[in-house]
Chains A and B, each alone.
Chain A
Amino acid sequence: GENVEQHPSTLSVQEGDSAVIKCTYSDSASNYFPWYKQELGKRPQLIIDIRSNVGEKKDQRIAVTLNKTAKHFSLHITETQPEDSAVYFCAATGTSYGKLTFGQGTILTVHP
């Protein structure tokens, strides 16, 4: 089955700096890679996703890059703000019914 590794487990940045979270996956058949933001006690919220036929996708301050050859994808947050502080999860899926395998999560703290 799919295995997703996520790094770092914790990330602390100053407001305005950029943050990068990286994930690797094992199943070369995986073709959909979403990123979720989860605040304490809340549901995961989809913030951006990318499919295997695209190498990069951007949405305002958030961007995701995908390297299919190396089987890794990354989340980039620019101009970080304190409200970006949360746990971020990457995930991957390759099956037709959309079963997601999640990474271990990254606790992002943005200091004012």
Chain B
Amino acid sequence: GAVVSQHPSWVICKSGTSVKIECRSLDFQATTMFWYRQFPKQSLMLMATSNEGSKATYEQGVEKDKFLINHASLTLSTLTVTSAHPEDSSFYICSARDHHRGTDTQYFGPGTRLTVL
């Protein structure tokens, strides 16, 4: 149990285009999902906390108009990178908490590697 999927696993796009990444909890309901960004050889940096049915909470320094987050259901959160630029190239990973287990354990998706040309 506690499986989180992400789609796509990798994407290459041209500068100026928008890219949508999906994060799904497959076998549990997740009222809270988290979006992280990880640059090569670096740690995971939290971008935002996504709460089902409400606006996301962004970390300091993360542009909410550039990284649009939608958490429309208990099993799906999406991250849209708008007007992507080469500096947005990174590994984006989501995680989800199992609401019914009532624990702090976060289960991570497999990540999406974004390359902006």
Instruction: Mark A residues whose CB is within 8 Å of B.
Output: 32, 34, 36, 41-46, 49, 89, 93, 97-105
Contact = CB atoms under 8 A, between A and B. Distances in A.
A43 B108 contact: yes
Given A32-B104, A46-B105, A98 B43 contact: no
A75 to B, nearest CB: 15
A102 B104 CA distance: 14
A85 to B, nearest CB: 15
Interface residues of B, number: 22
B67 interface: no
21 contacts: A34-B104, A36-B108, A41-B111, A43-B109, A43-B111, A44-B44, A44-B93, A45-B108, A46-B106, A93-B104, A97-B49, A98-B97, A98-B104, A99-B34, A99-B46, A100-B46, A101-B46, A102-B45, A104-B42, A105-B42, A105-B43
B106 A100 contact: yes
B94 to A, nearest CB: 10
